[in-house]
């Protein structure tokens, strides 16, 4: 009974940590540019797929990971420079459609290069599961949680202790004022997309051994990240982490105790319920609309 | 002024009617008719969505959910319970309208990305239910749908009919029917836009706060247009199901929702003829790109991206703008 619950909890926290990282990526880009990036999931896909194919070509794992993350970072910069920056006067819906166009393009490219097959990535440290109070914990889950925690710590350090991080925060608060104190806001936007892509690709790599990977895995992962970010409140880093973990755990519990067919419906009902009572998510800023 | 408004309104509709009725002169192949019928039905749903997105300025990323509900309600009632198609379509539309009203009230309080998220969630929940209630819907494999019938008279793409003494094939009959439905859909939408309701909606689009300050009940109008656009989707979904003869939960899916809103934005938000052009372009594009085989998806994404970057207002408004500028220039040269 308890072991069953524990098992679902482990599953939930692992996938929730991934959602949290995707949601953090959304948050970063949203804060810097108020764009909801529907191509966020593609960064995960690129990370996982590039690592798998590079190791298959004989590149050592660690180097493959570094190269895959760098590739995703470049893609993030390209997305901002080539697709978002030229459309600076476009409205919210148009920007959403541009990022959707970008995600279809990236998916098409991935399909061209890697085909439509599912690809398997081996666990980082063996297939031996760890037994905890009667439940089993996949060793890869520890990697996901560990890497997630480190990334969150790095982000906190980056935004509170470094000049560049503070420049991003300043730009998100008031772009014009940021420019007046000498922050190059275009640079900052590019940086936000890059960091977001790095985050996404790392998440994609650590979770790939659990979920497998394929050219179209980014759609649903990206959407779940968006759900997590909205539950937490768009723009809130704490909200993204809490929203991600909550979404993962609720989903795993729903799959375990209710029905695995309806686990996604439970996730989407959860976001509706949260928004009905807290229209700006759990930790969203309470902004008054200016007229 | 009123005469001008009326004239303009009629122009779009007359133009559309000309295109709809002239098209059979240029095509004869059943595949082309089938494609044209599909486009007309989907365009009808897009005209309804445009009322919500283009005029009231609200976003829906889950509209296929309502399209799918209408489609499946008709399919289930005519298929499993031997209802006739017309009452099934009407009851379905009323049911979907009620669902949209119940869901819309709390959802439409949300703004911007939160509204996108909530509508996306509603669409997803509907699609998941259609996917999983296998006994009723046939699950992911889909279900067959009986032919459309009016008072015992059946309209099937495979039939033979005579109209005013002319022999016409079932494909052509369906196409003409879908064309007339689209024209009626546009006529109703244009009338709504030019009514006091339409003005109230545009004021909501301009500034919700300002609209409520001058006494527009914004909640009421937003719910109303949400219901109307859902009913449009439901009716078109039901017709689409009968026309196709077979449906799968993809008609309610996220990707179809995205396609619908993309048609609105690509064609030109707020322009009824524009969004129909958007539907035509996005339905024909995959046909054209199919020749490129494995490059199809990439090219589709690229074209979508480039169009939206360089024509953020959409195809028709941009084209109209260019024309107006050119005209102004030549007028300037004359003077």
Cβ neighbours for A122, distance < 8 A, ≥ 6 positions apart: A209
Q: Per the CB < 8 Å rule, is A91 touching B312?
A: yes
Residue B61: the pLDDT is 93
What is chain B's mean pLDDT, rounded? 89
How long is chain A?
291
Determine phi and psi for A287, rounding to 5 degrees. -90, 135
Listed ranges A29-33, B25-29, B128-132; the one with the highest mean pLDDT: B128-132
- Interchain CB contact of B312 with A (< 8 Å): yes
DSSP code, position B195: S
Domain B2-296 in this protein, CATH class: mainly alpha
| A103/B114 Cβ within 8 A | no
Tens-place pLDDT, residues B248-299: 999 999 999 999 999 999 999 889 999 999 999 999 998 888 888 788 889 9
Chain A contact present for B114, CB below 8 A:
yes
B112: contact with A, CB 8 A cutoff: yes
CATH, range A2-277: 1.10.3470
Taking an 8 Å cut-off on Cβ atoms, the answer to whether B117 and A271 are in contact is yes
- Reported ipTM: 0.88
Could you give the angle at the alpha carbon of A222 between the alpha carbons of B128 and A233, nearest 5°?
Answer: 95
Chain A positions touching B59 (Cβ under 8 A) are 92-93
* E strand or H helix at A130: strand A130-132
Residues B92, B85: contact at Cβ < 8 Å? no
Question: Which of A87, A89, A93 lies at the smallest CB-CB distance from B265?
Answer: A93
Q: Smallest Cβ distance to B114: which of A83, A98, A230?
A: A230
pLDDT at B95: 97
Q: Which of A105, A268, A275 sits opposite B302 (nearest CB)?
A: A105
Contact state of A101 with B59 under an 8 Å Cβ cutoff: no
A111 vs B335: CA distance, rounded Å: 57
Torsional sign, CA B217, B218, B220, B221? positive
Q: Is B298 on the interface with A (CB under 8 A)?
A: yes
Question: What tens digit of pLDDT does each residue of B140-177 get?
Answer: 999 999 999 887 778 877 777 777 777 778 888 899 99
Distances (CA, A) of B218 to A207, B49, B110, B199, B225: 45, 18, 13, 12, 11
Is B122 in CB contact (< 8 Å) with chain A? Answer: yes
% of chain A surpassing 90 pLDDT: 52
Among all chains, which residue has been given the structure tokens 């420049």? A167
Better-predicted residue by pLDDT, B96 or B201: B96
Summarised one tens digit per residue, pLDDT across range A179-238 is 898 888 888 889 999 999 999 999 999 999 888 888 888 888 999 999 999 999 888 889
| pTM (2 d.p.) | 0.91
Q: Domain locations in chain B? A: 2-296
Closest residue on chain A to B208 (Cα): A291
From the number of C-beta atoms within 10 Å of its C-beta (0-12, 13-18, 19+), residue B322 rates as exposed
């Amino acid at each position: 009974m308890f072991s069953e619950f524990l098992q679902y909890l482990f599953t939930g926290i692992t996938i929730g940590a991934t959602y949290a990282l995707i949601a953090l990526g959304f948050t970063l880009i949203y804060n810097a540019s108020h764009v909801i990036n529907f191509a966020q999931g593609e960064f995960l896909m690129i990370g996982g797929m590039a690592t798998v194919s590079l190791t298959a070509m004989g590149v050592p794992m660690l180097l493959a990971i570094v190269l895959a993350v760098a590739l995703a970072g470049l893609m993030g910069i390209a997305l901002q420079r080539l697709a978002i920056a030229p459309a600076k006067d476009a409205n919210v819906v148009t920007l959403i459609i541009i990022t959707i166009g970008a995600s279809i393009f990236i998916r098409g490219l991935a399909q061209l290069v890697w085909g439509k097959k599912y690809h398997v990535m081996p666990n980082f440290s063996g297939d031996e599961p760890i037994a905890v109070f009667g439940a089993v914990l996949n060793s890869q889950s520890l990697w996901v949680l560990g890497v997630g925690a480190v990334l969150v710590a790095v982000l906190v350090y980056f935004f509170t202790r470094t000049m560049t991080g503070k420049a991003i925060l300043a730009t998100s608060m008031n772009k014009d004022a940021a420019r007046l104190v000498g922050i190059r806001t275009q640079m900052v936007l590019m940086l936000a997309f890059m960091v977001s892509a790095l985050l996404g690709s790392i998440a994609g790599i650590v979770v790939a051994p659990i979920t497998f990977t394929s050219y179209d895995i980014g759609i649903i992962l990206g959407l779940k990240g968006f759900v997590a970010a909205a539950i937490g409140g768009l723009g809130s880093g704490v909200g993204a982490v809490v929203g991600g973990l909550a979404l993962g755990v609720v989903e795993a519990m729903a799959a375990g105790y209710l029905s695995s067919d309806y686990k996604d419906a439970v996730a989407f009902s959860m976001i509706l319920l949260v928004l009905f009572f807290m229209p700006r998510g759990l930790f969203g800023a309470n902004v008054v609309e200016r007229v | 002024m009123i005469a001008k408004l009326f004239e303009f309104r009629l122009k779009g509709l007359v133009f559309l009617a000309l295109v709809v009725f002239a098209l059979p002169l240029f095509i004869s192949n059943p595949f082309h008719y089938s494609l044209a019928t599909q486009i007309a039905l989907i365009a009808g749903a897009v005209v309804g969505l445009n009322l919500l997105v283009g005029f009231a300025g609200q976003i829906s990323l889950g509209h296929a959910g309502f399209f799918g509900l209408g489609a499946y309600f008709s399919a289930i009632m005519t298929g499993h319970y031997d209802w006739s198609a017309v009452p099934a379509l009407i009851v379905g539309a009323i049911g979907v309208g009620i669902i949209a009203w119940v869901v819309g009230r709390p959802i439409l309080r949300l703004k911007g990305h939160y509204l996108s998220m909530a509508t996306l969630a509603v669409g997803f929940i509907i699609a998941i239910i259609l996917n999983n209630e296998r006994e009723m819907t046939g699950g992911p494999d889909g279900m067959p749908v009986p032919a459309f019938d009016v008072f015992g008279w059946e309209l099937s793409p495979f039939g033979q009919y005579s109209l005013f003494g002319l022999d016409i094939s079932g494909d052509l009959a369906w196409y003409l029917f879908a064309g007339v439905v689209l024209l009626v859909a546009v006529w109703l939408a244009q009338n709504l836009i030019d009514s006091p309701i339409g003005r109230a909606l545009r004021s909501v689009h301009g500034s919700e706060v300002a609209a409520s300050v001058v006494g527009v009940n914004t909640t009421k109008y937003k719910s109303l247009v949400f219901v109307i656009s859902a009913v449009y989707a439901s009716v078109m979904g039901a017709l689409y199901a009968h026309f196709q003869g077979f449906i799968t939960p993809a008609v309610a899916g996220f990707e179809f929702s995205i396609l619908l809103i993309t048609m609105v934005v690509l064609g030109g938000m707020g322009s009824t003829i524009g969004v129909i052009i958007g539907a035509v372009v996005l339905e024909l594009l995959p046909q054209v790109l199919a020749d490129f085989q494995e490059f199809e998806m990439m090219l589709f994404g690229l074209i979508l991206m480039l169009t939206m970057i360089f024509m953020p207002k959409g195809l028709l408004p941009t084209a109209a703008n260019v024309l107006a500028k050119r005209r102004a220039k030549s007028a300037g040269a004359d003077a």
